[in-house]
Each structure stands twice: as structure tokens, then as C-alpha cells.
Chain A
């Protein structure tokens, strides 16, 4: 690690928020890091404790901007976890930092993204550094709960389907729940900050899509976007790979009034046709359907890039995807533990780069984590083989954001995106 660049990636597995905060602080200090910024992530198990650990970390490092949120899990040199709190603290003199928060991203994704980006642009306008990077964390999709039915992934009955489809749209306006609209946020941040590299993800819970939170200093928010941007005298190497294979199995679709709903596939009701194309029985339409569909994402193509979509919810004959589908043609995708290992090799395989790395931050899809389970430990072995002892933090989010200047912004599912400080 360069002498003047210091990074500490710490994990706490304690349960009490105050003790978690103190443990994170102690470890950052042990690593002799006086942070210029902190990214902090927690699993949803700490709801009710967030405020306690944020207070302690911020009281100890009041001048360090802090952003983050809830994630499905994370991985570092210390191990792999789907319960705990992690922090990445960075100290570097030759760097300017700006950060901001925008609320109600589900209701006003465009205006909030623009407002936040303009604040970043204004604050960093005098930065002399060519390398500019934004970390962005947006509230991911949250399924509203129907009285008597709860929050479900598959609505089979006509009455429940009708209620769910109405509630999904109304609740994003009234209660800040519903589809995350992160692709709109990313598009607008990219337009306002064209010279910035962007890495980010959608905050989530333990893949139940019931609730998620964003952190901004001591503030705990919902339905919000947090951005932290740096202008830095260092190179940041960016890599993005989809952890899926695109097959040649094509689906002609008709979208609903909202671009993330599939109404029809090949001129038939979407759900029925999907089961037929997969050769799956109707009995598969239950609450564990997502365990199968995680392995078979839908994919669309745009400007030579592939965009994998996880099928989030089935409401009667409609399929609700994670984000807007920008095509009338979809392809069936597939993934497996082997595909994931090969993708990790592509992301981390450039040994010349990673030998020089000072710090790596990776965002990984929470659907992939749910799909592979304890094989997550095998991925860690593969990553540490490439990174050696370089500190890294990998977080699992319910959607991934990635953009390098000159390329189109990508909000996707089932991808692995990395930013490596050299």
C-alpha cells in the first residue's frame, strides 16, 4: 500500500449497537487510519441498533463523511457474513470528498438524482484531480404488505393479484414502498456527472424485500439516495462482469404501462408462457419460485451490453422485474456456481493490476448470494488468491450500478462490479 494511502476494512459480529460501534472504531484506530471518509454497511438484523453504532462511529470521527446502508451480506479479508456490520475507512491527503443525500427516490427519482449530483458537482468543481469516483447507494425495491396476506413474491389468486398490483403502484406514491427506480437515479447521476466513474448498489434486507435503510452520517433514512464522491490523486480501476450466460432462447415481450412489468410473452399471458418456456409445472408458482428464477435471469441487450433482470414478483399473469426493461426482446439467461467462479476470475484475474492494488471495493448481487449459499466461501478463496492481503470489502445488494465515462450507465442484477484503488 502507498505510504500515504491508508484503508481499514472492519467487521463487527456483536449484536448490541453500542458495542458494534465501539468495535468498528477500535479496529479502525488499530489500523492507524484517521478516516477522510467511511462507507458503512449493516445487515437488516440490526434494525433498532443502527442509530447506536452510527452515533459512536461519527462521534469518534466527526470530520469523516459517512454513507452506506443495509445489505444482504458482505465479504472481506476477515470472512463471509450474512449477519453483521462492516465499515471501510479511507485516509488519503491527496483527495477531496463530497457527499449528499436525497429523499423520496421512489417518488421523484429523476429530480432527487439531479439535485444530489449538482451538489456534488458544485462542491468538487475546484478539484484538480482527474480521477473522480462516486459511490452511490439507493433504496432498493420494497414489496408492500397486503393486510391479511403479508408481503409475498407470488400472488396467484385473482383477488390477491388485483390488490397487489394496485397497492404496488399506490404505495410508491403514498408510503415510499414499491419498485426502486434505481435505473432512473443512475441515468440522471451519470448525465449530471459525466466525468465521474460510478459504482453503487441498491440497499436491501435479507432478500425478503420488506424494508431497507440508507445511512448518512448519523441519519438513518428510507426511500433515499446517498452519494459520496471523491476527486483523488490515484487511479481507480473499474471492472464489471455479468455472472450469467446469455442463451439464444429469445422471448418477444409486451410490457405493461410501467416498463418493468412483462404483460405478455410471445403473444400469450406472461406467467403462463414463462412456465411453458422453462418447461416448469404450475406448482412451481409458490414462494420459493425465486430460488429457481435466480438461476435463470431474463436478459436484454443495449448498445452491445447485456442487462440481466431478476424476476422479482409474479402478480397473476404479470411478471414484475427489478428495473425497467429497455427492449421488446429478451433472452433467457442462466447462471451456476461455476459461472460465478469464472466471473470472479474475470473481475479479479488481471494480476498486474491487482498486485498494485491498495484497496478494492466490490458490489455483488444479493440474488447470486442467495443462489450459491455457502459456496460464497469458495468465491472468497478465489478473490483472496488474486488480491493477496490487500484490504477489500464486497457487499451484496439487490441491484448494481456501474458507469465509466464514455460508456452507458448500467443498473443491472446478477453482476459483479469492482473499483480498485491503485
Chain B
């Protein structure tokens, strides 16, 4: 199995959680591995998320060496959560602002660890 399909399998599993509306392993410009299932179909929202995350990737690159692990922001009714994988790549998970975030964080961390293993 290729690295890409292994990562896709991890993301396919993550997006089965009811509160996860979209997820991907991506670089700046949201270029990366994206599962087929995606519950956000608002194009304007995606444009906003892409613009915002582009700025986040600049911050990740600048602060990666200082131990930056994650960045999140509330956009519209969603949380956009970036978990840093390396200087240019993040696991991006989008979930409703009112979701039980603490429980989701545990599963996001599990997926991050699995992807770390795959990318090693």
C-alpha cells in the first residue's frame, strides 16, 4: 500500500465520526490527501478556510522549530483544527463549533500518531 493510500485509510476512518465534517492531510493551498466523504459543500466557506489555513501554514513554518503543535480557529460555525505533522504539512480537521471538542481531540491525536508512523 502506498503512503498516500495508507493516509487516506486513516482519514476515511476519522471522517466516520459524526462530528467530523471534513478532514485532510494537506500543505499550503489545501493540496494533499482528501477523503471522498466531505460534508461541507459551501464553496465560499472552503475559499475562506483555504485563505485562513494558508496564513496558518506560514505561522507553522515560522514556529515549527519552537515546538508549535497545533493551531485552531473558529470560522463561521466550524472549528478548523490544524495538527502539525511537519514544517509544511498538517492534519486538518473541521468540526462544528458546538461539538464535544475534548473527546474529538483524543481521536484526532490518535490519527496524528498513525499518520506520523506512516510518514516516518
Contact = CB atoms under 8 A, between A and B. Distances in A.
A371 B100 CA distance: 9
A380 to B, nearest CB: 10
B98 A373 contact: no
A82 interface: yes
Nearest to A45: B17
Contacts, number: 54
A208 B101 CA distance: 11
Contact of A374 (B16, B17, B97, B106): B106
A207 B103 contact: yes
B109 interface: yes
Query: In the complex, which of the residues B102, B108, B110 has the most CB atoms of chain A within 10 Å of its own CB atom?
Result: B102
Interface residues of A, number: 23
B55 interface: no
A49 interface: no
A371 B109 contact: no
Given A83-B17, A287-B98, A374 B103 contact: no
A45 B13 CA distance: 12
Size bracket, chain B contacts: 10 to 19
A376 interface: yes
B102 A206 contact: no
B103 A291 contact: no
Given A15-B16, A45-B17, A373 B105 contact: yes
Contacts of A288: 97-98
Contacts of B105: 373-374
A373 B106 contact: yes
Interface of B: 13, 16-18, 97-98, 100-110
Interface of A: 15, 45, 72-73, 79-83, 206-208, 287-288, 291, 369-374, 376-377
20 contacts: A15-B13, A45-B17, A80-B110, A81-B107, A81-B110, A83-B107, A206-B100, A207-B100, A207-B103, A208-B100, A288-B98, A291-B101, A291-B102, A370-B101, A370-B103, A371-B102, A373-B102, A374-B105, A374-B108, A376-B106
